[in-house]
């Protein structure tokens, strides 16, 4: 088969451009990323408990420094008392920061 054959639509492309997005594709991707980020931010604002849960989880990871983070995460997020645990730890953190009287 010769260069510029049917496989590449008859266009000669240097190897560095293979897999690159066109300008229009990049603009669409950038727009989609912005749209998804905005949707995620709206969801997080509507559900502040998610931020608290993640914050408590990160603090627990930093406190205990588990060898197996995946098992630790599985145990953390499947504990039966997760809601109460997160509420208590969040309250403790606010008190420690002097945000609650």
**Residues 36-80 pLDDT 10s:** 999 999 999 999 999 999 999 999 999 999 999 999 999 999 999
Q: Give the integer Cα–Cα distance in Å for 97 and 86.
A: 16
Each residue's pLDDT tens digit, 3-26:
444 445 445 555 666 789 999 999
pTM over 0.85: no
Q: Which residues, 6 or more positions from 51, have their beta carbon under 8 angstroms from its beta carbon?
A: 44
Distance CA 33, CA 38 (A): 9
Intra-chain end-to-end CA distance of the chain, in Å: 78
What is the model's pLDDT at position 15? 62
Q: What is the model's pLDDT at position 79?
A: 96
Give the span between the Cα atoms of 29 and 35, in whole angstroms: 10
Q: Which residue has the higher pLDDT, 100 or 58?
A: 58
> Which position has the token pair 């995620």?
40
Token output for 75: 């145990």
């Amino acid at each position: 088969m010769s260069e510029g054959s049917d496989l590449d639509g008859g266009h000669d492309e240097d190897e560095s451009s293979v897999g690159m997005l066109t300008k229009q594709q990049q603009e669409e991707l950038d727009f989609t990323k912005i749209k998804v980020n905005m949707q995620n931010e709206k969801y997080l604002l509507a559900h502040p408990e998610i931020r608290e849960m993640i914050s408590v989880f990160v603090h627990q990871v930093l406190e205990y420094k588990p060898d197996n983070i995946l098992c630790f995460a599985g145990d953390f997020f499947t504990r039966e008392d997760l809601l109460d645990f997160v509420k208590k730890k969040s309250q403790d953190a606010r008190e420690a920061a002097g945000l609650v009287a």
